[in-house]
């Protein structure tokens, strides 16, 4: 009896040691696997020669996109207060719309003609400020970004466009554009950035950064503005068709964003090769922010490098306006309202 008892005890001890050994070995194996997994890093991808040359040139010109003057916006109140100063106002709207009412002293220049106008019709640096205006501020933001990157450091875009100048104009544009139609379609989960890849192939045929810059600058204005914008309706219809960039603060992103949208940090994306390499070169890219102004600047920068980027017109205001009003105090949203509109006169010709 004692013999069987002893055998049983020995067997129990052996079994216990075996189980502990297996358990410890298993954990060790898992730990090794986890360690190896943590050590796996994405292999660096070298960007193509033209992209590299353009980057170098822009660095030499100054890091505008990460400076305190980006984006270069000016309020309608400031434009009005400085009408008698040495400023030059360029109105990008259609000539017929311009004739119905514009800011006193403004000149009407077609978007596609801006490079020619700056080169052959004015001496840009003779002015303290050159203010770009349009109906909403979207086209002027896009234009001002390209002009700034070209070295015209005194160019600004007027916030809200002519909608911020006069209520009658705003009625046809910003006041009719704000919407909360897709506020119930937002998601709050964090989406990961795409894998690192090369920049788009610009195929400019140039080798020098300045030559590439000139070629891209002129080609983007020649292409017009319509291909650089997209509506909220189209994006929400098929969000999976786009690589959507939320260019805003983390708390705003986490409060609700377009399905599939990936957050990119302001002042921590543009001009940083490793960050921009996570933006797919082979997919349509949508950039959005609160008002469409910042995204207009960002879109211009990305398109300069060949990305098929589009700015979401009116930004968050176009799909979650009521939520912006509701969370204005906690998230510092900038919802458009009549309070943003100046009561300034227009002249006709």
Distances (CA, A) of 93 to 30, 135, 154, 228, 307: 64, 7, 21, 16, 26
In whole angstroms, give the CA distance from residue 304 to residue 118. 18
Verify that 204 and 326 share a domain, yes or no: yes
Residues 319 and 204 reside in one and the same domain: yes
pLDDT at residue 43 in the model: 75
Categorize the per-residue pLDDT at 1 as very low, low, confident or very high, splitting at 50, 70 and 90. Answer: very low
Q: Write out the DSSP string of 196-208.
A: P-PPP----S--S
User: What DSSP element (H or E) covers 243?
Assistant: strand 243-246
| Domain edge (last residue) among 144, 174, 204 | 174
* 0.85 surpassed by pTM: yes
36 domain-assigned: no
Shared domain check, 276 and 317: yes
pLDDT at 5 over 70: no
Query: Could you say which DSSP state residue 101 is in?
Result: -
In a domain, 152, yes or no: yes
Which residues form the domain of 79? 63-174
Residues 125 and 239 occupy one common structural domain: no
pLDDT tens digits, one per residue of 17-51? 333 344 444 443 444 343 333 444 567 899 999 99
Q: For the domain that residue 122 is a member of, what is the CATH number?
A: 3.40.250.10
Closest by alpha carbon to 239, among 198, 288, 274? 288
CB 135, CB 141: distance < 8 Å? no
Same domain, 167 and 204: no
Which DSSP symbol is given to 199? P
Residues 283 and 198 placed together within one structural domain of the fold: yes
Question: What's the number of CA atoms in the CB half-sphere (13 Å) around residue 209?
Answer: 13
d(CA 347, CA 314): 26
| pLDDT for the residue 42 | 62
Per the structure, how many domains does the chain have?
2
- Give residue for tokens 């940090």: 265
E strand or H helix at 149: helix 138-149
- In-domain check, residue 25: no
Per-residue pLDDT tens digits for 153-207: 999 999 999 999 999 999 999 999 999 999 999 999 999 999 999 999 999 999 9
Per-residue pLDDT band for 16 (boundaries 50, 70, 90) equals very low
187 in the same domain as 170:
no
């Amino acid at each position: 009896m004692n013999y069987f008892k002893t055998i049983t005890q020995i067997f129990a001890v052996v079994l216990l040691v075996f189980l502990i050994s297996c358990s410890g070995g298993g954990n060790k194996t898992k730990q090794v696997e986890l360690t190896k997994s943590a050590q796996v890093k994405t292999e660096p991808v070298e960007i193509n020669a033209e992209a590299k040359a353009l980057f170098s040139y822009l660095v030499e010109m100054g890091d505008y996109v990460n400076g305190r003057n980006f984006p270069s916006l000016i309020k309608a109140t400031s434009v009005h207060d400085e009408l008698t100063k040495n400023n030059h106002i360029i109105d990008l709207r259609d000539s017929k719309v311009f004739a119905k009412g514009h800011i006193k002293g403004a000149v009407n220049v077609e978007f596609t003609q801006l490079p020619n106008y700056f080169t052959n019709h004015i001496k840009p640096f003779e002015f303290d400020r050159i203010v770009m205006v349009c109906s909403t501020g979207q086209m002027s933001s896009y234009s001002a970004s390209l002009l700034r990157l070209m070295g015209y450091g005194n160019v600004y875009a007027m916030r809200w466009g002519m909608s911020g100048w006069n209520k009658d104009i705003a009625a046809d544009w910003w006041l009719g554009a704000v919407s909360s139609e897709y506020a119930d379609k937002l998601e709050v989960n964090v989406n990961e950035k795409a894998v690192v890849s090369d920049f788009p192939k610009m195929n400019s045929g140039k080798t020098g950064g300045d030559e590439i810059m000139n070629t891209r600058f002129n080609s983007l204005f020649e292409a017009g503005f319509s291909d650089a914008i997209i509506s909220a309706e189209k994006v929400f219809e098929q969000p999976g068709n786009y690589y959507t960039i939320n260019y805003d603060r983390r708390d705003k992103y986490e409060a609700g964003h377009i399905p599939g949208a990936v957050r990119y940090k302001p002042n921590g994306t543009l001009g940083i090769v490793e960050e921009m390499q996570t933006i797919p070169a082979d997919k349509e890219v949508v950039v959005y922010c609160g008002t469409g102004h910042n995204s207009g600047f960002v879109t211009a920068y990305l398109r300069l490098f060949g990305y098929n980027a589009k700015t979401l017109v009116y930004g968050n205001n176009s799909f979650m306006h009521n939520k912006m009003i509701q969370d204005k105090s906690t998230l510092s949203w900038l919802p458009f309202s009549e309070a943003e509109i100046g009561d300034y006169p227009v002249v006709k010709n």
